[in-house]
Amino acid sequence: MKKLNCIFFAIVLVMPMLTLAQDAMKPSDSEEISKTAVSISGKVTNDGKTIIGDKDSKNWIISNPDALKQYAGQRVTIKGNVDAENNEIRVIEVTSVEMNYSVVNLDSYHPVAETSLKFGFNKGNLTPKAKEALDQLAETASHTEGYIFALEASTDAVGATDYNDALSQHRADAVIQYLVSKHDVPVHKMYVIGLGKDKPLESNKTSEGRADNRRVDVRLLTTQPNYHVVRVFYATDRELTGSSEPGNYYSPKRSEDGSLHFGSLDVSVPVDHHMAEIERPSIWHLEFREDPEKHLVLLKVLQEPETQFFQDVAAQVDSSPDRDAFVFVHGYANTFEEAAWRTAQLAYDLGFEGAPILYSWPSRGEVGAYPADEATIDWTTPHLKAFLEKIASVSHARTVHLIAHSMGNRALTNALVSIAAERSSIPPLFKQILLAAPDIDAGVFRQLAENFPRLADRITLYASSKDKALIASRKFHRSPRAGDSGKAITIVSKVDTIDATAVDTGLFGHSYYADNRSILSDIFSLIRTGDPPDKRFGMRAAHLNQMTYWQFRP
Q: Which residues contact 475 (CB under 8 A, 6 or more apart)?
A: none
282 and 345 both lie in a single domain: yes
CA distance 527 to 513: 14
What would the mean pLDDT of 342-366 be, rounded to a whole number?
Answer: 97
Reference 23, options 66, 62, 83, 78; nearest CA is 66
DSSP code, position 537: T
Is 454 within 8 Å of 417 (Cβ atoms)? no
Task: Tell which of 389, 423, 457 closes a domain.
Answer: 423
- CA 304 to chain CA centroid, nearest Å: 25
2 belongs to a structural domain: no
Cα dist from 352 to 63, 326, 336, 390, 433, whole Å: 50, 9, 21, 21, 16
Mean pLDDT of the chain: 86
Residue 54's pLDDT is 65
Contact, 42 vs 55, CB < 8 A? no
CB of 430 closer than 8 Å to CB of 327: no
DSSP state letter for 197 = T
pLDDT score of 445: 97
Where b means 16+ CB within 10 Å and e means fewer, 460-497 reads bbbbbbbbebbbbbbeeeeebbbbbbeeebbbbeebbb
In a domain? residue 329: no
Lowest mean pLDDT among 35-39, 96-100, 485-489, 532-536: 96-100
What are the helix and strand counts (H, E) for the chain?
11, 23
Taking only the tens place, the pLDDT of each residue in 512-526 is 777 788 899 999 999
Residues 416 and 433 in one domain: no
Last residue of some domain: 222, 248, 273?
222
For 507, residues 6+ apart whose C-beta sits below 8 A from its C-beta are: none
pLDDT in tens, 3-20: 444 444 434 444 444 444
pLDDT on residue 24: 38
* Predicted local confidence at residue 402, as pLDDT: 98
Half-sphere exposure at residue 469, Cβ-oriented, CA atoms within 13 angstroms: 25
Give the chain's end-to-end CA distance (angstroms, integer). 34
| 3-state SS class at 366 | coil
> For the chain, what percent of residues have pLDDT higher than 70?
88
**Residue 235 domain-assigned (yes or no):** yes
38 and 140 fall within a common domain:
no
pLDDT of residue 509: 63
339 and 371 part of one domain: yes
Euclidean distance between CA atoms 453 and 416, whole angstroms:
9
Domain count across the chain: 4
User: Is residue 99 within 8 Å of 74, Cβ to Cβ?
Assistant: yes
Domain co-membership, 350 together with 247 = yes
Q: 429 and 414, same structural domain? A: no
Which pLDDT does position 56 carry in this prediction?
55
Is residue 39 classed exposed, middle or buried when 0-12, 13-18 and 19+ CB atoms within 10 A define those classes? exposed
Cβ atoms of residues 136 and 114 within 8 Å: no
In a domain, 386, yes or no: yes
Beta bridge partners of 400: 325
Instruction: For residues 182 and 189, give the distance between their C-alpha atoms in angstroms, rounded to a whole number.
Output: 15
193 and 235 together in one domain: no
Residue-wise pLDDT tens digits, 248-282: 999 999 999 999 999 999 999 998 899 989 999 98
Per-residue confidence (pLDDT) for residue 65, from 0 to 100: 82
pLDDT confidence band for 204 (50 / 70 / 90): confident
Q: Is residue 327 part of a domain?
A: no
pLDDT-derived band of residue 155, with 50, 70 and 90 as boundaries?
confident
Q: In what order do the strands lie in the sheet with 110-118?
A: 110-118, 215-222, 147-154, 190-194
Residue 28's pLDDT band (boundaries 50, 70, 90)? very low
- Judgement on whether residues 418 and 431 belong to the same structural domain of the protein: no
3-state helix, strand, coil in the chain (%, to 5): 30, 30, 35
505 band by pLDDT with thresholds 50, 70 and 90: low
Residue (of 238, 236, 234) closest to 256 by Cα position: 238
Mean pLDDT for 334-348 is: 97
- 253 with 236, same domain: the answer is yes
Q: pLDDT by residue (tens digit) across 279-332?
A: 999 888 888 899 998 999 999 999 999 999 999 999 999 999 999 999 999 999
User: Is residue 238 domain-shared with residue 363, that is, in the same domain?
Assistant: yes
433 part of a folded domain: yes
pLDDT band at 57 (very low <50, low <70, confident <90, very high): low
pLDDT confidence of residue 55: 56
Report phi then psi at 109, rounded to 5.
Answer: -110, 155
* DSSP-assigned letters across all residues of 221-288: EESS-SEEEEEEEEEE-EEE-S---GGGSEEEEEPTTSPPEEEEEEEEEETTPPTT------GGGT--
Residues 210 and 119 occupy one common structural domain: yes
pLDDT at residue number 179: 93
Among left, alpha and beta (phi > 0; psi -120 to 50; other), residue 486 is left
Look up the CATH number of the domain holding residue 192: 3.30.1330.60
| C-beta atoms surrounding 92 within 10 Å | 18
Phi, psi (deg, nearest 5) at residue 427: -85, 165
User: Within 13 Å and on the Cβ side, how many CA atoms surround 553?
Assistant: 8
**488/108: higher pLDDT:** 488
pTM of the model: 0.68
DSSP summary character for residue 318: H
- Flag whether 326 is in a domain: no
Round to whole Å and give the CA distance between 260 and 235. 6
Q: Within 10 A of 341 (CB to CB), how many other CB atoms are there?
A: 23
| Cα separation values, 72 from 21, 163, 189, 192, Å | 18, 32, 11, 19
Q: Which of 525, 279, 479, 255 has its CA nearest to residue 379?
A: 255
Given 164, 198, 222, which residue is the final one in a domain? 222
Q: Give bridge partners of residue 402 from the DSSP assignment.
A: 327, 433
Please check whether residue 360 is in contact with residue 339, taking contact to mean a CB–CB distance below 8 angstroms: yes
Do 239 and 193 have their domain in common?
Answer: no
- Whether 328 maps to a domain, the answer reads no
Question: What residues make up the domain containing 521?
Answer: 424-554
